[in-house]
Copies of this chain bind each other. A is one copy, B any other.
Amino acid sequence: MNDPLSTTFAALADPTRRAILARLVSGEASVTQLAEPFQISLPAVSKHLKVLERAGLIARTHEAQWRPCRLSARPLKDVSDWLSHYRRFWEESFDRLDDYLHELQSKEKRNVRRHHKDHRS
């Protein structure tokens, strides 16, 4: 029912699911291996994996009996494409912050110079 981008964002809105993706960066893993670092039950991990699989963020091999999970990054490319429309906004705001810091620094320098001048006179 949901659009693909909403499904992707909803799947990513959970720290355990993001940790699972981070683990898969270093290669495919079984459900048991993925569950190891978490203080949650195997069924809870399976539930998270289903959410990730439905969003197309992981794929499970049917070849091996242990059905390893692997990362499937295509939906993340769509997130990146969506984000690109907003890039200039955070770059601009950092530019503004940069301008502000430069302004503060030159004000500071002027003050220091004035102080020295006052001191000499």
Contacts and interface: CB of A to CB of B under 8 A. Distances in A.
A71 B83 contact: no
A98 to B, nearest CB: 14
Q: How large is the interface on A (under 10, 10 to 19, 20 to 34, 35 or more residues)?
A: 20 to 34
B22 A13 contact: no
15 contacts: A6-B13, A6-B14, A6-B15, A6-B18, A9-B12, A21-B86, A25-B85, A73-B89, A74-B90, A76-B86, A76-B89, A77-B90, A80-B80, A80-B87, A83-B83
Interface of A: 3, 5-7, 9-10, 12-15, 18, 21-22, 25, 71, 73-74, 76-77, 79-80, 82-83, 85-87, 89-90, 93
